[in-house]
Amino acid sequence: MACYDIMLLLNGADEPLSVSWSNERLNSLFAPLVDSWVERGIPISECLPLPEGEREGTFSWDDDTFSFAFLPAPEGGRYLLLSRTDDKSELLARALDQLFEGVQIYDKDARAVFFNRSSRRISRIPDGLEIEGRHLLDLYSLSEDVSTTMTALRTGAPVIDRVDRFSVPDGTDIVTANTSYPIYRDGELMGAITYEQTEEILREWIGRLESTGRALKNYSARTPAVSFSGYTFDHVIGHDQKLREAVQLARRVAAQDASVMLVGETGTGKEIFAQSIHRASRRHGKKFLAVNCAAVPEPLIESILFGTQNGSFTGSENQAGYFEEAEGGTIFLDELNSMSLSMQSKILRVIQEKVFRRLGSTKDIEADVRIISSCNEDPFRAVTENRFRRDLFYRLSTVTIELPPLREHMEDLMELIEYHLAATSHQFIHNITSVSPDVMELFRGYSWPGNVRELFHVIDYAQNVADGNVLQTEHLPSYLVKSRPAPDSALEQIDFSGCTLQSLLDDYEHAVLLKALDRCGNNISLTAKTLGILRQSLQYRIRKYGIIF
Start-to-end CA distance of the chain, whole Å, equals 20
Q: 3-state SS string over 455-511? A: HHHHHHHHHHHCCCCEECHHHCCHHHHHCCCCCCCHHHHCCCCCCCHHHHHHHHHHH
Of the pLDDT bands very low, low, confident and very high (cuts 50, 70, 90), residue 233 is very high
Supply the pLDDT for residue 58.
84
| pLDDT tops 70 at residue 494 | no
250 and 398 housed in the same domain: yes
Q: Which residue pairs, CB below 8 angstroms and at least 24 apart, start in 409-414?
A: 409/238, 409/240, 409/242, 409/243, 410/444, 411/239, 411/240, 412/237, 412/238, 412/239, 412/240, 412/243, 413/440, 413/443, 413/444, 413/455, 414/440
Confidence band, pLDDT 50/70/90 cuts, at residue 488: very low
**What torsion, rounded to 10 degrees, do the Cα atoms 272, 278, 284, 290 define?**
-70
The answer to whether residues 71 and 95 belong to one domain is: no
Enclosing H/E stretch for 85: none
Q: What is the predicted pLDDT for the residue at 518?
A: 76
Q: Count how many domains the chain has.
A: 4
Strand (E) or helix (H) holding 271: helix 270-279
**Residues 48, 78: one domain?**
yes
Domain boundary among 159, 182, 202: 202
- State the average pLDDT over residues 412-425: 90
Question: What is the model's pLDDT at position 493?
Answer: 53
pLDDT on residue 10: 92
Tens of pLDDT, residues 530-548: 788 887 788 878 877 778 7
Q: Kindly state whether residues 146 and 40 are assigned to the same domain.
A: no
pLDDT band at 263 (very low <50, low <70, confident <90, very high): very high
Q: What is the pLDDT of residues 306-327, one digit of tens each?
A: 998 876 555 567 889 999 999 9
pLDDT one-digit tens code per residue, 430-486: 778 889 998 998 998 888 989 999 999 999 989 888 878 889 999 998 888 887 765
541/537 Cα distance (integer angstroms): 6
Residue 292 bridge partners (DSSP): 334
Among residues 404, 426, 459, which one ends one of the domains?
A: 404
Distances (CA, A) of 94 to 392, 535, 543: 55, 15, 7
Note whether 409 and 268 are within 8 A (CB): no
Distance of alpha carbon 105 from alpha carbon 3, whole angstroms: 9
**490 — pLDDT class (breaks 50, 70, 90):** very low
Q: Quote the pLDDT of residue 225.
A: 47
In a domain, 549, yes or no: no
**Strand, coil or helix: 168:** coil
H/E run at residue 357 = strand 355-357
End residue of a domain, out of 41, 62, 85: 85
pLDDT digits (tens, 9 = 90+) for 90-114: 678 888 888 889 999 999 999 998 8
- Kindly tell me the sign of the dihedral angle through the C-alpha atoms of 517, 523, 528, 529: negative
Distance of alpha carbon 501 from alpha carbon 507, whole angstroms: 10
Instruction: Tell me whether residue 34 is in a domain.
Output: yes
Mean pLDDT for all residues in the chain? 85
Same domain, 196 and 109: yes
Q: Which positions ≥6 away from 305 have C-beta within 8 Å?
A: 291, 321, 322, 323, 331, 347
CATH number at residue 368: 3.40.50.300
Task: Indicate the pLDDT class of residue 87, thresholds 50, 70 and 90.
Answer: low
Asked whether residue 511 carries a pLDDT value surpassing 70, the answer given is yes
Residue 57, H or E segment: strand 56-61
Secondary structure letter of residue 145 according to DSSP: G
Least confident of 53-67, 99-113, 287-301, 441-455: 53-67
Q: How far is CA 285 from CA 51, 172, 281, in A?
A: 75, 73, 9
Confirm whether 217 is domain-assigned. Answer: no
Q: HSE-up of 33 (CA within 13 Å, CB side)? A: 12
Yes or no: say if 534 and 65 are a contact pair by the CB < 8 Å rule: no
Average pLDDT rounded to a whole number, residues 274-294: 93
Q: In Å, how far from its chain's centre is CA 531?
A: 24
Between 498 and 91, residue with greater pLDDT = 91
Residue 104 to residue 101: CA distance in whole angstroms: 10
Number of H helices, E strands in the chain: 22, 19
- The identity of residue 163, as a single letter, is V
Residue 219 lies in a domain: no
d(CA 140, CA 171): 10
Question: What percentage of the chain reaches a pLDDT higher than 90?
Answer: 39
Beta strands 260-263 and 399-402, pairing class: parallel
What does the DSSP 8-state code read for residue 263? E
State residue 489's pLDDT score: 42
Identify the DSSP state of 280: T
Statement to judge: residues 180 and 244 lie in one domain: no
Are residue 265 and residue 129 in the same domain, yes or no? no
**Residue 1 — pLDDT band, cuts 50, 70, 90?**
very low
Q: Are 70 and 80 in contact (CB under 8 A)?
A: yes
Q: Which of 48, 37, 84, 41 is nearest to 64 (CA)?
A: 84
Asked if the model's pLDDT at residue 224 lies above 60, the reply is no
Same domain, 36 and 109: no
Task: Determine what percent of the chain is predicted with pLDDT higher than 70.
Answer: 90
Residues 61 and 108 in one domain: no
Q: Which of 432, 431, 437, 445 is nearest to 486 (CA)?
A: 445
Binned at pLDDT 50, 70 and 90, residue 134 comes out as confident
When comparing pLDDT for 538 and 180, which is higher?
A: 180
What is the phi-psi region of residue 522: left when phi exceeds 0, alpha when psi lies from -120 to 50, beta otherwise? Answer: left
288 in the same domain as 237: yes
CATH (domain of 49): 3.30.450.20
The CATH number linked to 470 is: 1.10.8.60
Q: What does the pLDDT read at residue 2?
A: 43
Q: Is residue 425 part of a domain?
A: yes
Domain that holds residue 430: 411-544
d(CA 400, CA 393): 10
What is the DSSP annotation of 300-343?
HHHHHHH-B-TTSSTT---B--HHHHTTTSEEEEETGGGS-HHH
| C-alpha span between 401 and 261 (Å, rounded) | 6
Question: Quick one: 336 and 257 in the same domain?
Answer: yes
Q: Which residues on adjacent β-strands are paired with residue 66? A: 59, 84
Give a yes or no: residue 1 inside a domain: no
Task: Kindly report, residue by residue over 325-337, the tens digit of the pLDDT.
Answer: 999 999 999 999 9
Residue range 195-224: average pLDDT? 74
For residues 426 and 535, membership in a common domain is answered with yes
8 A C-beta contact, residue 206 and residue 214: no
